[in-house]
Amino acid sequence: MQSLRSVLRESIEQLGLVEHLSVAYILVSLGCAALCGLIIYFVYKLFYRGAVYSENFALLIVMTTVVTAFIVITIGSNLVLSLGMVGALSIVRFRSAVKDPLDVGFLFWGIAVGITSGAGLYPFAIIATAAIAIVYILFTVVGKGRRTFALVIKYADSAEDEVSKIVEKSKGKIRGMAKYKGENELTVDVKFNKKSSGMLDEILKIEGVTSAVMVEYVGE
């Protein structure tokens, strides 16, 4: 008497739900995922805009791309195994905090490439990877000449009018203001480029300004 597992396997095979994968198909799928993952890796490494670059996260993107392709290949080849894998993956929880929201986009990019590569859509995976890389690089290069800085100014009450004029001129956005005995501390987000490079010197020349510091803001 045949076991339940054998009966189920024969039924699935008759329905054509089991695909016998060739070694060439597996190697090409994983190779395509690895190639696209390396492209994402170099784009992330060369055009990273955050404060602290993490090599481990960059390598994680490549690993995520290849592992996702491996999972998709496995799920697409065996219906029974795919149901078990979906159940196993549903209990996985990732609790690592992502400091930069842009890093989440790179992870989704790697996952999407892994899915398309594992499904055998190699031209789509390569073309989409190249298109996203070009768009990201263009936005990075265009925005590189004009960066956001947090301007912190400490000044006496007597210099408030002149400081306010310069802040209005820079079209900065006030983030916070603190008042002490006879002294004020103002924090402003300003768009800083080569044309506005003399603004800090102009502020320091104001009588009553004790200090002025500009710190690049990266959104973390």
DSSP per-residue letters across the chain:
---HHHHHHHHHHHHT------HHHHHHHHHHHHHHHHHHHHHHHHS--SSS--HHHHHHHHHHHHHHHHHHHHHHH-HHHHHHHHHHHTT-------SSHHHHHHHHHHHHHHHHHHTT-HHHHHHHHHHHHHHHHHHHHHHHTSEEEEEEEEEEGGGHHHHHHHHHHHT-EEEEEEE-SSEEEEEEEEEE-GGGTTHHHHHHTSTTEEEEEEEE----
Task: Using CB atoms within 10 Å of the CB of residue 64, give its burial: 0 to 12 exposed, 13 to 18 middle, 19+ buried.
Answer: buried
Q: Is the dihedral of CA 124, 127, 133, 136 positive or negative?
A: negative
CATH of 147-216, one of 3.30.300.10, 3.30.70.20, 3.30.2390.10, 3.30.70.260: 3.30.70.260
Q: Report d(CA 125, CA 145) in Å as an integer.
A: 31
Contact 175, 189 (CB under 8 A): yes
Q: Where are the chain's structural domains?
A: 4-144, 147-216
Per-residue pLDDT of the chain (220 residues; tens, 9 = 90+): 456 566 555 554 544 444 556 788 888 889 999 999 999 999 998 888 765 678 888 898 999 899 888 888 877 766 555 555 655 555 555 566 666 778 888 989 998 999 898 888 889 999 999 999 999 988 887 766 556 777 787 877 777 777 777 777 777 777 777 777 778 787 777 776 655 557 777 777 777 777 777 776 555 4
> Would you tell me how many other CB atoms lie within 10 Å of the CB of residue 32?
25
Model's pTM, two decimal places? 0.62
* pLDDT value of position 86: 59
